[in-house]
Structure 1
Amino acid sequence: MDPRHKKILQRNRTNLVRDLDPSEVYDGLLSRGVFTQDMIDEIKSSGTRRDQARQLVRDLETRGSRAFPAFLECLRECGYESLTSLLQSEDPVGQSVPSPQIPVIRPLPVCPIDVREPDKIHSNPPKELPLYPTEIDIASPSPERLSPRPTQGRTRRDSIQSYKMDASPCGLCLIINNVEFEQHSDLKDRNGSDIDSDKLERRFKSLNFDVVVKRNLKHKQIRQELSALAKMDHSNSDCCVVIILSHGTEATHSRFPGAVYGVDGTSVPVQVITNYLNGQHCPSLQGKPKLFFLQACGGGEKDTGFEVSPDEVQPCMGGPDDQTDAIPVSSSSDSLSMSDEPDARATLPTPSDILVSYSTFPGYVSWRDTKAGSWYVETLDRLLKENAAIHDLVTILMMVNNEVSQNSAKGLFKQMPGSFNFLRKLLYFQAPPHSQFST
């Protein structure tokens, strides 16, 4: 498909997923050769109407130059005038669907063999003949079909069923932002954390979550907020998000490593935090995704990385302040804060539908700039803004891992985010239209 048409579909994916009933355009796309019956059956098996619409739009992007104009014709025939006008308004060039052409196949030449002189078969063999006609003139619905797909024989990633994420609001997002720590805790204030908190509050509001921010909580207050969250009725929600910005520590564990500190210097294990919302303790969230984002150190060790060839290191795609996040003007601890440490052990059954995203690998520090915020949150916020309308959460987190891993503090220290993923399906946020251009 023409890159221009791909971008049009991506920019309008939210509207298409919301308004399109894929069952109404299947026959038209099939008759025009855009999809095969097997491909349509696969789209049908992807789940709800929204899931089918989302997969249909993604598959269209792989179907060659005729797919976009053929899709417009199908929308027009089925009465989707507003969607048709929306897509056409972004395609000033416009294309008409070419009429099918009859294949022109040239016959293979016949090379007679003299049966009376069989030795000539080997002594003077005829020129090697092509296995296929040397010229085929045919209008293919998808040029990509001429070469086998590299993933052929494997389960297609976009055929996995997605979580239902269309409630309004989608769910509750709790942000715990610990900035100022009590003197006896021996933990420094986390200057710059308010920047992270403000960014994530705006971002999750744009993703249609109700956001509640709590600041400077002691360890008992963290537990109380999570307990209150677990006791709420989430029957009308599709998801729940917990974000904790604090110091952290390394600890032994049975499932989720690490712990986060209250401002009183007492830590709460990540394992305990996630258990508040598991299926046993919060029945109204059973089968629904529970997401935890932790900006906290996983320990005190600094990662100096390892040497790679120059072509393996991609430049960071962020703004001009990215390097100042990594290489502060001052070498003092006030300019670039490092602080996170360990948790306690807990033993509970393997949770389902839970994802915990860590800003750094367990055991290592997490870097934060006092003026620009943390590497992890800045990258997470930006990539959610740019990709929430296109990609699922796990894919976006992989992008976050890659970008943060390219940074270096003082030209030496590295950071590697990661996640513990117990989700069972793909998760797509409710991204606003043209979210990659929004604030």
Structure 2
Amino acid sequence: MLDTERGDEVKDDMTIRQPRKRRVSDVIDSIGDDSGHDSNSFDLPSHVNGDSNENYINEEEETIVPVTPESVNLLMPEWLCKKSSQADSVPVGLPEDEGEDEDDHSPLSQNSLLELSASMPVAIDAERYNMNHKNRGKCIVFNQETFDTGLKTRNGSSEDAKRIETTFKNLGFNVEILDDLEHTDIMKKIDELSNEDHRDNDCLCIFMLTHGLSNDLVFAKDVAYDVKKIWKPFTADKCKTLAGKPKLFFIQVNNSYNKINNYDKLILNLTQACRGSQLDVGVQMRQRNTEIRMNTEVDGNIDTYKLPTHADFLIAHSTVQGFYSWRNPTEGTWFVQCLCDVIDEHYTTTDLQKMLTICMRKIATEYSSYDDVNPLNNDLKQVPSITTMLLRDIYFLQK
């Protein structure tokens, strides 16, 4: 028997995955030519030295690879930095000197510790997040399909954006798709979201659909920047109305390493032992004067409790750090399309983390690249990578 929707042969309740029939081949979701695995690498030009401030141009691909100064300081050599105005290189709301978080370098005073408190949306021992607020929340889709820097157009990304809109509207989200924004506009939108009042919302969801480089650099229309600038403004100390609530980030990018291996190894050696020097002072969760709804709100007998500022995040990458992810120019990316398939089928009975496990398993076992031109790109695999700081299960209960 043939499952006409999926193109699978079904026999004795066992599904045998057949090669997907497509009109066009899958492509590596990368910044340049996908005909070979090394075509997206960036070799240090012989004429470039450490004192140069010129944009780096990959002469083979004729691709300009600009990055923001705050990323260059830690992750990239100077010759890979775009010459740009301060306005489009320093994220909104960050110090103008290095573009770093204000609290990244100095300890908080005792007085400031006392100010870090937020309303408690759920009891300390609750197994599920409170998804019974008035609104589900916002789902923002940053869809980068075309670029001013000469990078390859991400054909099929608009199909991902449409699919996300359908699936997440069905979950009750207020979905907004933002196409081909420059870095400044992305940071303005993030700053706006961080400063909004989310008290009546269950959670926040953000999708990044774009090209990427190693060390979690992602591309806006005009420049590359560190992806942490997307989620950092929503830690509990910076966005208190989302404290104790899930913050979901889905990042569909190609995280391939380039040939700046010495820099990659340097950063790896510096970070793998401790991963930083900052201290997390936490945020005190205090009771709200609201009625108990389905045992998810806190009653008057529950003491306040303290949460780490980075709790309640889920960051899902389309692939493992250092590996390509795959996109079909007419159908969209494997990760986004599979994720939406799984959510559509299971959201009424299954929590989000379980659905992500199903999605990862399906991509790992059922998906293989198809390329009828270049055999090197045929029958290749992919597995998403999930980083979770969630403390509870997420069920998208109907409003």
TM-score (norm 2): 0.53
Shift in Å at residue 187 of structure 1? 1.0
Judging by fraction of residues, say which structure has more helix.
Answer: 1
Q: Is the 8 A contact 1:244 1:293 kept in 2?
A: yes
1: distance between equivalents of 2:204 and 2:130?
13
| Residues 1:297 and 2:254 are matched in the alignment | yes
Shift in Å at residue 272 of structure 1? 2.1
2: distance between equivalents of 1:370 and 1:230?
33
Q: Is the 8 A contact 1:168 1:208 kept in 2?
A: no
1: distance between equivalents of 2:225 and 2:352?
26
Identity over the aligned pairs, expressed in percent?
A: 30
Aligned to 1:259: 217
Q: Is the 8 A contact 1:160 1:426 kept in 2?
A: no
Aligned to 2:238: 281
Letter in 2 for 1:418: S
1: distance between equivalents of 2:171 and 2:249?
16
| Residues 1:428 and 2:392 are matched in the alignment | no
| Residues 1:270 and 2:237 are matched in the alignment | no
Per-residue CA shift, 1:321-362, capped at 9, x if unaligned?
xxxxxxxxxxxxxxxxxxxxx9xx996657110000111111
The 5 A counterparts of 1:16-415 are 161-182=127-148, 185-251=149-215, 258-264=216-222, 266-300=223-257, 349=280, 351-406=310-365, 407-410=367-370, 411-415=378-382
The 3 A distance-change label for structure 1 pair 370 and 287 is same
The alignment of Structure 1 onto Structure 2 pairs a total of residues equal to 224
SS at match of 2:228: helix
Per-residue CA shift, 1:101-137, capped at 9, x if unaligned?
xxxxxxxxxxxxxxxxxxxxxxxxxxxxxxxxxxxxx
| Residues 1:416 and 2:383 are matched in the alignment | yes
1: distance between equivalents of 2:396 and 2:255?
27
Unaligned runs of 5+ in 1: 1-158, 252-257, 302-341, 433-439
2: distance between equivalents of 1:293 and 1:430?
20
2: distance between equivalents of 1:244 and 1:362?
16
2: distance between equivalents of 1:364 and 1:351?
26
Letter in 2 for 1:282: C
TM-score (norm 1): 0.49
The 3 A distance-change label for structure 1 pair 160 and 285 is closer
Per-residue CA shift, 1:194-214, capped at 9, x if unaligned?
000000011111101111111
1: distance between equivalents of 2:398 and 2:325?
28
2: distance between equivalents of 1:351 and 1:249?
24
Q: Is the 8 A contact 1:196 1:378 kept in 2?
A: yes
2: distance between equivalents of 1:270 and 1:431?
32
Q: Is the 8 A contact 1:299 1:364 kept in 2?
A: yes
**Higher Cα radius of gyration:** 1
Letter in 2 for 1:402: R
In the TM superposition, structure 1's runs of 4+ consecutive aligned residues that sit over 4 Å from their partners are 345-350
Unaligned runs of 5+ in 2: 1-124, 259-266, 281-308, 371-377
Shift in Å at residue 431 of structure 1? 4.7
Shift in Å at residue 223 of structure 1? 1.3
Shift in Å at residue 300 of structure 1? 4.4
Aligned-pair Cα RMSD in Å: 2.3
2: distance between equivalents of 1:405 and 1:431?
30
Judging by fraction of residues, say which structure has more strand.
Answer: 2
The 3 A distance-change label for structure 1 pair 300 and 368 is farther
Choose between structure 1 and 2 for higher RCO, CA contacts under 8 A separated by at least 6 residues. Answer: 2
Aligned to 1:313: none
Letter in 1 for 2:185: Q
Q: Is the 8 A contact 1:260 1:296 kept in 2?
A: yes
Shift in Å at residue 396 of structure 1? 0.4
